[in-house]
Amino acid sequence: MLTATERNQMIAKIRGLPSSVEAAVKDLNDKQLDTPYREGGWTVRQVVHHLADSHMNAFVRAKLMLTEEKPTLKPYDQEKWALLKDTIGTPIQSSLSILRGVHHRWTLLFETLPESSWSRLAFHPELGDITVEDLLTSYARHGENHLGQITKLKAEKAW
């Protein structure tokens, strides 16, 4: 169980991710956006679209967890999603807009939860039982991880 201070730090990460991602990709051209962050990894463009896809799913999962009794959360194949035509070669502005909107709503949701809601459960077929607090922690770190991939690549390439 996180302390209230730790929880607020995780919520702050959720709140701040969209502007951090926007700053990281600002002024990148198509060639740069289509550069993988590592050998065999996703491109910067795919990472941005993945963040939107993944965090939309997580927002819906949070709402299911808060409104249903121990829902079963549906996994999805993120590798296959990253290869769909709406991800490959598609401008990133729509996904940046999604991130801004979803994270705004998600932050409002998390900031208004009563203490009892943080321990609400869901079943994830790949992970087992997870709580709303687990979801918060996981996705705060998820965003940081992918942001780090972008910023590390930019530093390595001196963009």
Quick check: helix, strand or coil at residue 91?
Answer: coil
Q: Which two tokens stand for residue 79?
A: 């590798």
At residue 89, the pLDDT reads 86
Each residue of 42-63: b (16+ CB within 10 Å) or e? bbbbbbbbbbbbbbbbbbebbe
**Which residue type does 55 have?**
H
At residue 23, the pLDDT reads 98
At residue 92, the pLDDT reads 98
Is residue 49 within 8 Å of residue 86, measured between CB atoms? yes
* Number of structural domains the chain divides into: 1
> What CATH code is carried by the domain that includes residue 106?
1.20.120.450
Q: CA separation (Å) from 111 to 37, 66, 98, 135, 158?
A: 33, 14, 20, 14, 38
Residue 128's beta-bridge partner residues?
Answer: 124
At residue 130, the pLDDT reads 98
For Cα atoms 121, 63, 94, give the angle at the middle one, nearest 5 degrees. 135
At residue 101, the pLDDT reads 98
At residue 35, the pLDDT reads 97
Instruction: Look at residues 112, 148, 159 and name the one whose alpha carbon lies nearest to residue 37.
Output: 148
* pLDDT per residue as tens, the chain (159 positions): 999 999 999 999 999 999 999 999 999 999 999 999 999 999 999 999 999 999 999 999 999 999 999 999 999 999 999 999 999 989 999 999 999 999 999 999 999 999 999 999 999 999 999 999 999 999 999 999 999 999 999 999 999
Quick check: helix, strand or coil at residue 156?
Answer: helix
Backbone dihedral angles phi then psi of residue 122, each to the nearest 5 degrees: -140, 160
Full-model pTM: 0.96
Q: Which two tokens stand for residue 41?
A: 């990894």
Residue 76 belongs to domain spanning: 4-157
